[in-house]
């Protein structure tokens, strides 16, 4: 998508998008733009409404914003127009930028328009959305030049669209090898280095916990390491994302909800998308990211409940439940990252527990850290763009939940309570007491229901959150 600033609508024909803040249903003053008057009896800018008027060879789309709106609401409003009024974009399009809009609101609106092009029907025949055509040009009317803001919005949306697809596509396509290849190709395109450890190199490296999870699958595990190293880097951030491309539960096989377990790599996908976006925006921060990718399946080679396995950190782990596998691959990722790259701050993302969904529902992710400054910065980054976080405790009172009599630690407490917390304590055990580490449990927000599809689908949660956090360090 290209963009061009235009001074006015003289001789313009096509679709005009006109955002309108709410007035009142009883207003006697009509909303007016481009010679078109709209009276409050039919439209007054109420949030989540729009009104079409055909005049002067133009389709005027008045878009209701409500009285106040946040970044996420703005993005959703414009995504709705793009997704559900696709035919409006088959013509020349002009977006009117109100004087009241700040750059964040412009960014959210343009990003929303592009996100509205997403089609969940990957294996259905359908026409390409007009916004995605190479010759599409978005005209905009504004007092100032917003080219930089619009370009940034497009980069954010493109990264999120990539992650929508990675999470929504089926597991017979999105295998560990597919994720590794995606990382390599994206690194070449956007400017970060990628190294991938297959099974043999992972064994040689000592990634025993990671390899144990993938033992029951025909898909070869892939330990993906990405490095973005700008010359002017001011800090070094480490990321780790859970990349379970499908989770049967292993021998503790899932008895419900398995059809949605293609989304169990959403944390890894968020890290992949964040790497694309960080490099695309050329942020002045060094980032090293690891996505341990494998499939938790079932066969004669699967690891067993009551097995004791080793880890990269050298700690032994008693396996209580093979469905608590995400934390096993994460700890090897965390240990390897911290030991070999020594980042200033480490953040991991994972669809880790159903417990966090029971606690927080589908509104926000669980945040675990003992670093209050890091907690504050992550929450601020999330609040600013509508990817919210809520901090839960990491008190040492929960350590007994992961203590084992036969090994250094066990992977599951066996209790029906505090599951998200005990999982976070398990991860913390392998961070070598890193003073700036945070764990984000995104199980309730990475894959869900909304108006844009009939079934659960990807949200790309974490891509923009992590990027915004790094951008504002």
User: pLDDT above 90 covers what percent of the chain?
Assistant: 97
Tens of pLDDT, residue by residue over 42-69, are: 999 999 999 999 999 999 999 999 998 9
Strands 50-55 and 36-38 come out as unpaired
What does the block give as tokens for 415? 């209790």
Residue 1's pLDDT band (boundaries 50, 70, 90)?
A: confident
- 182, pLDDT greater than 90: yes
CA–CA distance, 162 with 170 (Å, rounded to integer): 14
* Residues 26-38, mean pLDDT to the nearest whole number: 93
* Residues 158-171, mean pLDDT to the nearest whole number: 98
Q: Tell me which of 327, 377, 410, 425 is the catalytic residue.
A: 327
* Residues 399-426, mean pLDDT to the nearest whole number: 97
Alpha helical stretches, state H, 123-259 = 147-168, 176-190, 199-205, 208-213
Q: Average pLDDT over the chain, rounded to whole?
A: 97
Residue 91's pLDDT band (boundaries 50, 70, 90)?
A: confident
Is residue 327 part of the annotated active site? The answer reads yes
Q: How many CA atoms does the CB half-sphere of 371 hold within 13 Å?
A: 16
Tens of pLDDT, residue by residue over 342-370, are: 999 999 999 999 999 999 999 999 999 99
* Residues 418-446, mean pLDDT to the nearest whole number: 98
The pLDDT, as a whole number, for residue 226 is 99
Residue 300's pLDDT band (boundaries 50, 70, 90)?
A: very high
CA–CA distance, 392 with 438 (Å, rounded to integer): 11
- 218, pLDDT greater than 90: yes
What's the sign of the alpha-carbon dihedral 22, 26, 28, 30?
Answer: positive
CA–CA distance, 150 with 264 (Å, rounded to integer): 32
- Is the pTM above the cut of 0.95? yes
* DSSP 8-state class, residue 265: G
Is residue 254 part of the annotated active site? The answer reads yes
Other C-beta atoms closer than 10 Å to the C-beta of 188 total 11
CA–CA distance, 315 with 429 (Å, rounded to integer): 9
CA–CA distance, 347 with 237 (Å, rounded to integer): 8
Q: Tell me which of 80, 91, 177, 254 is the catalytic residue.
A: 254
Contact indicator for 355, 420 with CB cutoff of 8 Å: yes
Which residues does 277 contact at the CB level (< 8 Å), separation at least 6? 155, 156, 159, 463, 464, 467
Radius of gyration (Cα) for the chain, nearest Å?
A: 24
Contact indicator for 311, 261 with CB cutoff of 8 Å: no
CA–CA distance, 115 with 431 (Å, rounded to integer): 36
The pLDDT, as a whole number, for residue 210 is 98
Closest by CA position to 246, among listed 258, 268, 262: 262
């Amino acid at each position: 998508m290209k963009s061009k600033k235009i001074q006015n609508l003289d001789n313009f024909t096509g679709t005009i998008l006109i955002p309108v803040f709410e007035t009142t249903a009883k207003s006697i003053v009509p909303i007016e733009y481009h010679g078109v008057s709209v009276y409050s009896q039919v439209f007054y800018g109420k949030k989540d409404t729009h009104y079409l008027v055909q005049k002067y060879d133009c389709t005027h789309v008045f878009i209701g914003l409500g009285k106040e709106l946040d970044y996420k609401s703005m993005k959703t409003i414009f995504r709705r127009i793009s997704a559900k009024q696709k035919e409006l974009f088959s013509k020349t399009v002009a977006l009117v930028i109100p004087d009241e809009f700040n750059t964040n609101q412009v960014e959210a609106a343009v990003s929303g328009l592009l996100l509205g092009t997403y089609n969940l029907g990957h294996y259905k025949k359908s026409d390409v959305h007009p916004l995605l055509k190479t010759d599409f040009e978005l005209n905009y009317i504004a007092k100032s030049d917003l080219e930089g803001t619009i370009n940034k919005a497009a980069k954010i949306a493109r990264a999120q669209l990539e992650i929508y697809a990675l999470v929504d596509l089926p597991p017979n396509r999105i295998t560990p090898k597919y994720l590794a290849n995606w990382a390599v190709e994206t690194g070449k395109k956007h400017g970060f280095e990628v190294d991938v450890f297959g099974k043999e190199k992972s064994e040689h490296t000592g990634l025993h916990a990671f390899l144990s999870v993938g033992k029951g699958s025909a898909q070869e595990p892939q330990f993906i390491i990405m490095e973005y190293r700008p010359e002017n880097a001011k800090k070094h951030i480490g990321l780790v994302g859970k990349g379970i491309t499908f989770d049967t539960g292993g021998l503790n096989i899932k008895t419900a909800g398995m059809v949605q377990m293609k989304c169990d790599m959403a944390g890894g996908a968020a890290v992949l998308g964040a790497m694309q976006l960080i490099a695309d925006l050329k942020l002045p921060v060094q980032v090293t990211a690891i996505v341990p990718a494998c499939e938790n399946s079932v066969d004669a080679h699967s690891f067993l409940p009551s097995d004791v396995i080793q880890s990269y950190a050298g700690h032994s782990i008693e396996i209580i439940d093979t469905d608590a596998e995400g934390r096993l691959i994460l700890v090897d990722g965390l240990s390897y990252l911290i030991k070999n790259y020594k980042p200033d701050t480490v953040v991991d993302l994972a669809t880790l527990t159903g417990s966090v969904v029971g606690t927080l529902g589908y509104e926000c992710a669980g945040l675990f850290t003992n670093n209050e400054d890091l907690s504050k910065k992550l929450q601020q980054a999330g609040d600013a763009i509508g990817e919210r976080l809520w901090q839960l405790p990491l008190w040492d009172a929960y350590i007994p939940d992961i203590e084992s009599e036969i090994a250094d630690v066990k992977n599951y407490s066996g209790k029906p309570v505090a599951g998200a917390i005990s999982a976070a304590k398990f991860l913390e055990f392998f961070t070598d007491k890193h003073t700036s580490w945070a764990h984000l449990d995104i199980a309730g927000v990475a894959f869900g229901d909304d108006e844009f599809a009939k079934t659960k689908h990807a949200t790309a949660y974490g891509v923009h959150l992590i990027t915004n956090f790094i951008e504002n360090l």
